[in-house]
Amino acid sequence: MTARVAVPIFPGTNSEDETVRALQAAGLDAEAVHWSRGGRALRAFDAFVLPGGFAYEDRIRAGAVAAHDELTEAIVAAADAGKFVLGICNGAQILLEAGLVPGTGPIGRPTAAFTPNRNGGRFLCRHVYVRLGVAPERIPALGGLPREAVIPMWAAHGDGRLAAAPDELARLDADGYVAFVYSDASGRRIPAPQGSALDCAGLTNAAGTVVAIMPHPERDAWTFMQRDGAAKLRARGATQAMLAPSGGSLFFTAFAHALRGVVAR
Amino acid sequence: MATLQKTFAVGLTIPDNEAFTALETLRRIGVGVGAVRRADVWTFDVDAAAAATLGQTIATIETVFNPNKHELVERPGSRPIAGEVWIAPHDETALPSVGGRVIPGVRGVRRRVAWQLLDEAGRIVEPAVLEHAVETFLCNPAFQKAIR
Q: SS3 of B39, please?
A: strand
Mean predicted confidence (pLDDT) in B47-58: 93
Mean predicted confidence (pLDDT) in A197-219: 98
Q: How far apart are CA A15 and CA A50, in angstroms?
A: 9
Which residues of chain A are within 8 Å of residue B134 when distances are taken between CB atoms? none
The answer, for A140 touching chain B at a CB cutoff of 8 Å, is no
**Among the options A73, A148, A216, A257, which is catalytic?**
A216
Report CA dihedral (A63, A69, A75, A79) to the nearest 10 degrees: 60
Q: Mutate which of A10, A54, A61 to test chain B, going by most B C-beta atoms within 10 A?
A: A61
The percentage of residues in chain A with a pLDDT greater than 90, rounded to a whole number, is 84
Q: With a cut of 90, say whether residue A157 has pLDDT above it.
A: yes
Q: Which long-range contacts (CB under 8 A, 24 or more apart) does B139-142 make?
A: B139/B85, B139/B87, B140/A61, B140/A64, B140/A97, B140/A110, B140/A113, B141/A109, B141/A110, B142/A96, B142/A110, B142/A111, B142/A112, B142/A113, B142/A115, B142/A163, B142/A164, B142/A165, B142/A168
Which residues face B101 on adjacent strands? B98
Q: With a cut of 80, say whether residue A55 has pLDDT above it.
A: yes
Q: With a cut of 90, say whether residue A261 has pLDDT above it.
A: no
Q: Kindly determine whether residue B21 and residue A56, on different chains, have CB atoms separated by under 8 Å.
A: yes
Name the residue among B21, B136, B142 with its Cβ closest to that of A113: B142
- Nearest chain B residue to A113, by CA: B142
Mean predicted confidence (pLDDT) in A93-110: 96
The answer, for A104 touching chain B at a CB cutoff of 8 Å, is no
Task: Tell me the pLDDT of chain A averaged across its residues.
Answer: 94
Taking any CB pair shorter than 8 Å as contact, residues of chain B touching chain A are 17-18, 21-22, 25, 28-29, 89-91, 95, 135-138, 140-144
For the stretch A19-53, pLDDT in tens is: 999 999 999 999 999 999 999 999 999 999 999 99
pTM above 0.90, yes or no: yes
State the pLDDT at residue B99: 76
- Nearest chain B residue to A197, by CA: B143
State the pLDDT at residue A265: 61
For the stretch B88-143, pLDDT in tens is: 999 898 988 887 888 889 999 999 999 999 999 999 999 999 999 999 999 999 99
Q: Note if A216 is an active site residue.
A: yes
For the stretch B1-25, pLDDT in tens is: 789 999 999 999 999 999 999 999 9
For the stretch B33-50, pLDDT in tens is: 999 999 999 999 999 999
Query: Which helix (H) or strand (E) covers residue A192, if one does?
Result: none
For the stretch A119-128, pLDDT in tens is: 878 899 999 9
Q: Kindly determine whether residue A164 and residue B142, on different chains, have CB atoms separated by under 8 Å.
A: yes
Q: Note if A89 is an active site residue.
A: yes
Of A237 and A221, the one with more pLDDT = A221
Which residues of chain A are within 8 Å of residue B94 when distances are taken between CB atoms? none
Q: With a cut of 70, say whether residue A199 has pLDDT above it.
A: yes
Which residues of chain B are within 8 Å of residue A120 when distances are taken between CB atoms? 95
State the pLDDT at residue A232: 79
Q: Kindly determine whether residue B25 and residue A60, on different chains, have CB atoms separated by under 8 Å.
A: yes
Residue type, position A214, single letter: M
B61 band by pLDDT with thresholds 50, 70 and 90: confident
For the stretch A62-80, pLDDT in tens is: 999 999 999 999 999 999 9
- Nearest chain B residue to A55, by CA: B21
- Nearest chain A residue to B92, by CA: A120
Which residues face B89 on adjacent strands? B144
Kindly report the CA angle at B130 between A73 and B7, in degrees rounded to 5?
A: 120
| Chain A closest-CA separation from residue B70 CA (Å) | 18
Q: With a cut of 90, say whether residue A243 has pLDDT above it.
A: no
ipTM above 0.90, yes or no: yes
Q: Kindly determine whether residue B29 and residue A68, on different chains, have CB atoms separated by under 8 Å.
A: yes
State the pLDDT at residue A225: 87
